Structure 1
Amino acid sequence: MKKNLLALFSLLVIASLALAACGGGTPATEEVVATEAPASTEAPATEAPATEVAEPVEVTFWHAYGTGSAEEIALTAILEQAAIDMPNIKINVLQVPFNDLFTKYDTDVAAGGGPDFFVAPNDSLGSQARAGTIADITDLVADKLGDYSELSQGGMMYDGKMYGIPESLKAVAFWYNTDLLPEAPATTDDLKALMEGGTPIAISYGCYHHWGFFGSFGAKIFDDQFNFVTDEANQANVTSAMSYLNDLYQISVANGLPRNDSDGLAPFTEGTVAAITNGNWAMGDYRAALGDKLAVAPIPAGPGGASNPLLGVDGTAKTLKPLLK
């Protein structure tokens, strides 16, 4: 649930900044020394007008949390509390299917629409920053992100500028049901042996989800400057990793096992699959279903060393609408 709470805290940070932007500063006061007042020769002063109430603000917020998921449930609870704590801000919420989120955002913003802010992975942050479709909030959040790690802030930055408030860090791991699998496999050989022996394990195949296995075989796709690593030794390691993944894939097909995180959700939470590879965004749903039976471990190490899954950052980004300017 930590991820969920951080996501919604980001929403409240944005809303609180909106309140700060709409409000004025408190005027300075001077200390008054009591003295005997002279007799008044003027009519008594009229009563000071009541403090002006902040005008209502209406904003639109998009998210892609699944219906009924732990993330959506937590978001709903925080929005209900936000309505109490910030009664002058009306937050209109739109759930957008994740696979449509970035396309819909780009299309709607190009047509002059879209949300005021949204929560999403930083997958498209660079392209959105270059296209000028999300706002540079560097000055807006200056000195307000002290509790956020440097790594998380970096995930919401492009070219030295901040384009969102970090919500969570995420990476793919090996989740397992201890009633069905008491210990996680320590190595890639152990994992393969389990699957060959009939233990039902849902491996999520696909570039993002299986990326960590490249590290298990000592393979790199990019160097530190994001150039492709093309030397012969590295390509041999990439081939070994892909050959291993193909072996697992063939076992999955032969045994009718789920081969992506969506198809694996129900079998894992219902106890018909012993383990699944997926990101920590699914932890709330897994924990709700399995309770203390849920355990997590890294993707297994291999002959090339430890696995190295991609590290992603989700965050709340602001569009170019003038809400917080």
Structure 2
Amino acid sequence: AHPNITIELVHKDNVEVLREDFQTASLAGTPPEMLWTVNDHAGPFTAADIIQPVDDLFDLSVFVDSALEAVKLEGKTWGVPISNGNHLMLLYNKKLISEAPKDTDELFAKGKELTGDGNYGLVWNQTEPFWLVPWLGGFGGKVFAEDGVTPTLNTPEMIATLKFLHAMKYDAKIIPPESDYDGADTLFKEGKAAMIINGDWSLSGYKEVLGDDLGVARIPKVVATGEWPKPYTSGVYFMLAKDLSGDKLEAAKEFINFVTSKEKQLEMVKKLNRLPALKAALDDPLISSDPILKGSADQMVVGTPMPTVLEMRCNWDAMKPEMQAVLADTKSPEDAAAAMQSAAEACIESLK
């Protein structure tokens, strides 16, 4: 116990607000000592030089490699992992579909059987490119070249991905005409959608509504390539303000070691259904004997770490309107991919 240490918790509405507020407070010279945040903040925070590396402060060998990889930049580690995953997967209602489709042909066939009268075979957030990325991986594409900073959005793989999503909507017709995050979430919870592609953060909410009828599986394999879709994996991390030192740094280290202990990691698994980042906790029977967590872990192993570089923000902003245009049937996949590439390049140029 540490009766002499008080931690003041400040909750932000979402991670974007957290990012902006931390940057503003850091510039003003009054940042909070510690952050509980997502790995893609490592890019902007290191670029602004407002956090410190943690390699020499903690024994990082106790954590899962994929969790550490997601916060590595310039050979240094910029966060201590709390949970691992943050990945999309296929969730299904066993009352409506007994088992998950194994591949995209099965997905379209089963989806058609389940669509009609205001019900849909599948729902997902059609407004955000985070939901496009797994399929891009399944078609063999990536958003960056080998250097990790040059966008590769105008490729045959991206065009194939956009064509596939267009076909899902306009040929197979297994998804709603329009659907943002909340729309998809509501349809699934109300039993009007048999399947949803959503993240591990949604598991505990769906478990509450569906109970044992909730199934978890990998996003179906892409028949055209024989590849599994590759959702981005990341996690939640502690990051430390750049100038944190002395007694306050020691107190922060104590707290982080407490939260990332095996006992606390397993408590988090029970409460939040999130996969732990600590190797010893990930191997616990609590996970291997739970079909929901086991399914989540099975999807995570074919995922790919989400890029943390600043240039990724340009890619997200470039992909979003073009994916929406293809799904609105107002732009061809070819034109959309070309527009994504030029928007990303222009954005990256403006960062220089």
Cα 1:264/1:115, change in 2 over 3 Å: farther
- Structure showing greater Rg: 1
Q: Is 1:89 paired with 2:11?
A: no
How much has 1:272 moved relative to structure 2? 2.9
Q: Is 1:290 paired with 2:205?
A: no
Q: State the alpha-carbon separation in 1 of the partners of residues 177 and 216 from structure 2.
A: 20
How much has 1:285 moved relative to structure 2? 1.9
Alignment of 1:227-242 (within 5 A): 227-229=150-152, 235-242=155-162
1:178–1:295 contact (8 Å) kept in structure 2: yes
Higher helix share: 2
Q: Is 1:324 paired with 2:238?
A: no
Q: What is the aligned partner in structure 2 of residue 103 from structure 1?
A: 20
Q: What is the aligned partner in structure 1 of residue 54 from structure 2?
A: 137
1:186–1:300 contact (8 Å) kept in structure 2: yes
Alignment of 1:145-294 (within 5 A): 145-170=60-85, 171-197=87-113, 198=115, 199-205=120-126, 206-226=128-148, 227-229=150-152, 235-250=155-170, 256=176, 259-294=179-214
How much has 1:153 moved relative to structure 2? 1.9
Counterpart amino acid of residue 63 in structure 2 = Y
How much has 1:212 moved relative to structure 2? 1.0
Q: What TM-score results when the alignment is normalised by the length of structure 2?
A: 0.60
Q: State the alpha-carbon separation in 1 of the partners of residues 209 and 172 from structure 2.
A: 24
Q: What is the aligned partner in structure 2 of residue 307 from structure 1?
A: 229
Q: What is the aligned partner in structure 1 of residue 276 from structure 2?
A: none
Q: State the alpha-carbon separation in 2 of the partners of residues 220 and 146 from structure 1.
A: 28
Q: State the alpha-carbon separation in 2 of the partners of residues 264 and 255 from structure 1.
A: 9
Counterpart amino acid of residue 124 in structure 2 = I
1:148–1:166 contact (8 Å) kept in structure 2: yes
How much has 1:250 moved relative to structure 2? 4.8
1:165–1:316 contact (8 Å) kept in structure 2: yes
Match of 2:42 among 116, 119, 125: 125
- Post-superposition Cα deviations, 1:155-187, rounded to whole Å, max 9, x if no partner, equal 223212222111222221111111112111222
- Post-superposition Cα deviations, 1:198-220, rounded to whole Å, max 9, x if no partner, equal 03421223221221111333333
Q: State the alpha-carbon separation in 2 of the partners of residues 180 and 308 from structure 1.
A: 26
Q: State the alpha-carbon separation in 2 of the partners of residues 127 and 165 from structure 1.
A: 17
Q: How many residues align?
A: 236
Cα 1:123/1:293, change in 2 over 3 Å: same
- Post-superposition Cα deviations, 1:33-81, rounded to whole Å, max 9, x if no partner, equal xxxxxxxxxxxxxxxxxxxxxxxxxxxxxxxxxxxxxxxxxxxxxxxxx
- Post-superposition Cα deviations, 1:99-130, rounded to whole Å, max 9, x if no partner, equal 42211221222122332212111112022112
Counterpart amino acid of residue 134 in structure 1 = I
How much has 1:258 moved relative to structure 2? 6.5
SS at match of 1:146: helix
Q: What is the aligned partner in structure 1 of residue 273 from structure 2?
A: none
Q: State the alpha-carbon separation in 2 of the partners of residues 108 and 253 from structure 1.
A: 48
**5+ residue gaps, structure 1:** 1-84
How much has 1:317 moved relative to structure 2? 0.8
Q: What TM-score results when the alignment is normalised by the length of structure 1?
A: 0.64
**5+ residue gaps, structure 2:** 251-352
Counterpart amino acid of residue 100 in structure 2 = A
Cα 1:94/1:271, change in 2 over 3 Å: farther
Q: What is the aligned partner in structure 2 of residue 75 from structure 1?
A: none
How much has 1:191 moved relative to structure 2? 2.2
1:195–1:251 contact (8 Å) kept in structure 2: no
Cα 1:216/1:152, change in 2 over 3 Å: closer
Identity of aligned residues (%): 25
How much has 1:248 moved relative to structure 2? 2.9
Cα 1:287/1:251, change in 2 over 3 Å: farther
2:92–2:216 contact (8 Å) kept in structure 1: yes
Counterpart amino acid of residue 166 in structure 1 = P
SS at match of 2:9: strand
1:261–1:277 contact (8 Å) kept in structure 2: no
